[in-house]
């Protein structure tokens, strides 16, 4: 099962197993990881699952998967970076085993 490491704003790391086929947001929610809220449940309508993909993973993860994700990223509560993604739009695959994402200071 792929592992995803969530790095909180304060540097605390939480590594969890996330089943292939799930997304990074659900991996956080199902495992009680702070920093990802996911208010809309992954419906691509709230931007409260904003994360920063670690620089080492940006090429493999890629940028926003749709115009809708790009548009929602414009409304995030914290700094928008080149590595910003909505974690509900990052599907976990075996190729992403070891993925590292950073959570922003706040989602609101």
Q: Is residue 108 part of a domain?
A: no
Range of the domain at 76: 3-102
Q: Is residue 107 part of a domain?
A: no
Q: Is residue 97 part of a domain?
A: yes
Write the pLDDT tens digit of every residue in 25-84: 999 999 999 999 999 999 999 999 999 999 999 999 999 999 999 999 999 999 999 999
Q: Is residue 59 part of a domain?
A: yes
pLDDT confidence bin for 20, thresholds 50/70/90? very high
| Conformation bin of residue 42: beta by default, left when phi > 0, alpha when psi is -120 to 50 | left
Classify residue 9 by its DSSP letter.
T
Q: Is residue 90 part of a domain?
A: yes
- Domain total of the chain: 1
Residue 41: the pLDDT is: 95
CATH code, 77: 3.10.20.30
């Amino acid at each position: 099962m792929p592992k995803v490491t969530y790095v909180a704003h304060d540097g605390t790391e939480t590594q969890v197993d996330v089943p292939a086929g799930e997304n990074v947001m659900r991996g956080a929610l199902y495992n009680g990881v702070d920093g990802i809220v996911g208010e809309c449940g992954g419906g691509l309508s709230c931007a409260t699952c904003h994360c920063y993909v670690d620089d080492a993973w940006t090429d493999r993860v890629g940028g926003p998967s749709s115009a809708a994700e790009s548009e929602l990223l414009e409304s995030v509560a914290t700094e928008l970076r080149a590595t910003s993604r909505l974690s509900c739009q990052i599907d976990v695959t075996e190729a992403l085993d070891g993925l590292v994402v950073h959570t922003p200071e706040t989602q609101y």
